[in-house]
């Protein structure tokens, strides 16, 4: 089995190195090959998603991705910016289903900004559609404003759109995931304002006919944002479009105290997937050896489960992470009085030791 390792920028290389170390310690014979991506891809080959990197990702059974983005690339033209690498990979590999679990580990209950009683035991799964919506809709750009009080000025514009088949397939993913959990799906939209999301609501309702054992609720995105901080435990599976999912998943991540703990999977229609921490490249702490590698290590566990057919090894990693948290080891992002502060590498080593 072949794994493409794409460390990227900022803390990406440090955290992926820990996940690779953990994967190697499993004693399986994975073939792992690395390539530059994001700002590192631009620096080495003049493009954030170099051809060689894309080819490696396409040929692999799964991709382990770090993070992309760094200050020095902020002024590049949009097509050359690091973010284009992850957007390009999602599109080119057909990774339409983004699974972002938000789980509060009991040991970290105090790290949340919300009261423990509001978040303790939190276990929700956000399923974000990842290759459609206003992120990819065309036309887009800057043009001359055709009408209204600002006619004749320049205007920026993007296009929000969802094809029926795109909505159907992500709805199926959500209902099937719900069956393995709490059997409840909340579909988040803005059907009161947007045509695209009235259509979304109609199609999700149709797909639901095949899943009468799963409870479906529709919720407007503004209300969903409020409910996420008011009573997040009421949710089981949330399914939504690309942009709403981007925003809500950051909010959900923070409920758990640290975005440094949360893995994600981006899946195609088969077994292929790209696995990345839910957090970004954090250039402000890059190279300092303080980044939390657990989200990436947990992403490797998701990779074993969803793409490599190694559920037992995934369990081993997840249990090892729980064990190091129980030992009181914490990187600075989740450090609290009474725990032991460790760096990125020490945390990786601790997980390796806990595997046994
Ligand atoms: C994410 C990120 C990306 C997104 C950026 C880096 C393009 O915020 O994975 O959530 O908006 O999808
Ligand atoms: Mn995001």
**Is 300 inside a domain boundary?**
yes
Which CATH number fits the domain that encloses residue 287?
A: 3.40.718.10
**Is 241 inside a domain boundary?**
no
**Is 91 inside a domain boundary?**
yes
List pLDDT tens digits, range 2-40.
Answer: 999 999 999 999 999 999 999 999 999 999 999 999 999
**Is 211 inside a domain boundary?**
no
User: Domain range for residue 334?
Assistant: 1-100+259-356
The verdict on whether residue 290 carries a ligand-binding annotation is yes
**Is 328 inside a domain boundary?**
yes
Q: What tokens were used for 170?
A: 């992500």
User: Given its phi and psi angles, is residue 148 left (phi above 0), alpha (psi -120 to 50 degrees) or beta?
Assistant: left
Q: What is the ipTM, given to two decimal places?
A: 0.99
Ligand 1: which residue has its CA nearest to atom 7? Answer: 83
**Is 60 inside a domain boundary?**
yes
Q: Which residues sit opposite 217 in a β-bridge?
A: 186
What spacing in Å lies between the alpha carbon of 246 and ligand 1's midpoint?
Answer: 7
222 flagged as catalytic: yes
List pLDDT tens digits, range 129-151.
Answer: 999 999 999 999 999 999 999 99
Ligand 1: which residue has its CA nearest to atom 6? Answer: 83
Contact call for residues 322 and 104 (beta carbons, < 8 A): no
What spacing in Å lies between the alpha carbon of 235 and ligand 1's midpoint?
Answer: 23
> Which residues sit with their C-beta closer than 6 Å to ligand 1?
83, 86-87, 246
**Is 224 inside a domain boundary?**
no
Determine which one of 70, 189, 190, 275 is catalytic: 190
250 flagged as catalytic: yes
Structurally, the chain folds into a number of domains equal to 1
Within 10 Å of residue 326's Cβ, how many Cβ atoms?
Answer: 12
The whole-chain average pLDDT of the chain stands at 96
- Confidence label for 219 from pLDDT (cuts 50, 70 and 90): very high
The verdict on whether residue 286 carries a ligand-binding annotation is yes
List pLDDT tens digits, range 244-277.
Answer: 999 999 999 889 877 889 999 999 999 999 999 9
| Choice from 9, 12, 83 to test ligand 1 binding pocket (greatest atom count within 8 A of CB) | 83
Across the range 61-89, mean pLDDT stands at 96
pLDDT of residue 110: 82
* Residue 212: partners with Cβ closer than 8 Å, 6 or more residues away: none
Determine which one of 24, 222, 234, 315 is catalytic: 222
For residue 356, pLDDT beyond 90? no
**Is 86 inside a domain boundary?**
yes
């Amino acid at each position: 089995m072949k794994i493409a390792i794409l460390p990227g920028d900022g803390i990406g290389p440090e955290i992926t190195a820990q996940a690779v170390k953990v994967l190697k310690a499993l004693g399986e014979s994975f073939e792992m090959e690395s390539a530059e991506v994001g700002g590192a891809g631009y620096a080495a080959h003049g493009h954030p998603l170099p051809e060689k990197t894309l080819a490696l990702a396409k040929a692999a059974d799964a991709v382990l991705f770090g993070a992309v983005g760094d200050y020095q690339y902020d002024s590049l033209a949009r097509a050359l910016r690091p973010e284009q690498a992850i957007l390009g990979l999602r599109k080119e590999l057909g990774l339409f289903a983004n699974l972002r679990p938000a789980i509060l580990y009991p040991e970290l209950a105090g790290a949340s900004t919300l009261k423990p009683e509001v978040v303790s035991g939190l276990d929700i799964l956000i399923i974000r559609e990842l290759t459609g919506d206003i992120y990819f809709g065309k036309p887009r750009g800057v043009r001359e404003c055709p009408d209204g009080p600002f006619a004749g000025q320049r205007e920026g514009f993007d296009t929000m759109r969802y094809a029926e088949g795109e909505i159907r397939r992500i709805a199926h993913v959500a209902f099937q995931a719900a069956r393995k959990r709490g059997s409840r799906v909340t579909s988040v939209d803005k059907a009161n304002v947007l045509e695209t999301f009235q259509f979304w609501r109609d199609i999700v309702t149709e797909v639901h006919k095949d899943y009468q054992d799963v409870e479906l609720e529709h919720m407007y995105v503004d209300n969903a944002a409020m409910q996420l901080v008011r009573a997040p435990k009421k949710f089981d599976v949330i399914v939504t479009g690309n942009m709403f999912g981007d925003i809500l998943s950051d909010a959900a991540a923070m409920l758990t105290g640290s975005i440094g703990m949360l893995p994600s999977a981006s899946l195609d229609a088969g077994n292929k997937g790209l696995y990345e921490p839910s957090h970004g490249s954090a250039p402000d702490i890059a190279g300092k050896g303080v980044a939390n590698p657990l989200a990436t290590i947990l992403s490797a566990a998701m990779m074993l489960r969803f793409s490599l057919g190694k559920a037992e090894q995934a369990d081993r990693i997840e249990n090892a992470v729980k064990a190091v948290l129980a030992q009181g080891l914490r990187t600075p992002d989740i450090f609290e009085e009474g725990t032991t502060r460790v760096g990125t590498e020490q945390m990786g080593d601790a997980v390796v030791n806990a595997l046994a």
